[in-house]
Amino acid sequence: MLKDQFYNYIQDLQDRITSSLETLDGTARFKEDIWKRAEGGGGRTRVIENGGVFEKGGVNISAVHGELPKSMQQHFGVSEADFFACGLSLVLHPKNPMVPTVHANWRYFEMYNKDGEIVDQWFGGGQDLTPYYLFDEDAIHFHSICKNACDLHDKDFYSKYKSRCDAYFWNAHRNEARGVGGLFFDYCKASEHMSMNQWYDFVTEVGNSFLDAYVPIVEQRKDLEYSKEQRDWQEIRRGRYVEFNLVHDKGTLFGLKTNGRIESILMSLPPHAQWVYDHYPKAGSEEERLIEVLKKPKNWV
């Protein structure tokens, strides 16, 4: 069954990612928290804190099932139904402001009628990069890996899902992007062009590409020197990250409205952030250059 196949996949992917990140960090280990959901299912949360490279990060998997919550019934326009949802979600906040924050998510959803038959199913996910200091080659590398993964399945996927990522991770109240984007796809359903098994192959291709997309960037930047002022800038930008997650992010808002597991939902928030009144970077600075790029998403590859 597809749901078992995908859940086995994300369990293995979580192991691969956390193992690789522990090696990269060199100091801290992931703390594991196994939790159960009263209504059905549960998850395996892994959090790393105060490491040599990662100030805070989480790589979480969950598989939950049961009666579709009322808010979801309204959202999907259905009456009583049952559901199954599983996914892997990760956010990593590095200590060094020269290393970008990264977010990724890959998920699968099924909905059933009263006889237990699947009436709807889809995949979703993506990965995106949020730098504090913009090294163009890092953005190019990240997007190149994303494009390569997409091109193996459909030559149109990269431009389509890159554009959706730019549109989704848009901090509308600030009129700027959260970061330099990546991929975002949702409601990937069977059609005459793609079967559910082909969608599975695509989503797992993207998931498998994550470490190749991010780890080389961390290795390149983690030992660069930085000043107190650059650290302050990182924390000011992290404030914008928090704003996006709490004001606009559908997954966060959905979790908060449906009695989701609060520790897993808020795992994405950085440990230190700042909100400075009416803050603008100096003209001609690297900080200003980042802001200019965030105001108008670029094509990196």
173 is catalytic: no
pTM of the model: 0.96
> Cα separation of 146 and 205, whole Å?
10
Which of 186, 167, 189 shows the shortest CA–CA distance to 178? 167
CATH architecture, range 2-295:
3-Layer(aba) Sandwich (3.40)
Own/partner pairs, 219-227, CB within 8 angstroms, 24+ separation: 219/24, 220/135, 220/138, 221/96, 221/98, 221/99, 221/100, 221/135, 221/138, 222/24, 222/53, 222/94, 222/96, 222/98, 222/99, 223/96, 224/96, 224/98, 226/96, 226/97, 226/98
Secondary structure (3-state) at 190? coil
Domain boundaries in the chain? 2-295
Instruction: Check 65, 75, 103, 279 and give the catalytic one.
Output: 103
CA distances 4 to 13, 59, 61, 108, 263, Å, are 14, 20, 13, 10, 25
Residue 73 has a pLDDT of 75
In tens digits, the chain (301 residues) has pLDDT values of: 999 999 999 999 999 999 999 999 999 999 999 999 998 999 999 999 999 999 999 999 999 999 887 777 777 777 778 999 999 999 999 999 999 999 999 999 999 988 889 999 999 999 999 999 999 999 999 999 999 999 999 999 999 999 999 999 999 999 999 999 999 999 999 999 999 999 999 999 999 999 999 999 999 999 999 999 999 999 999 999 999 999 999 888 878 877 778 888 898 999 999 999 999 999 999 999 999 999 999 999 9
Residue 271 has a pLDDT of 95
Maximum pairwise Cα distance, the chain: 64
> Cα separation of 39 and 85, whole Å?
13
Q: What is the dihedral of CA 60, 61, 66, 71, to 10 degrees?
A: 40
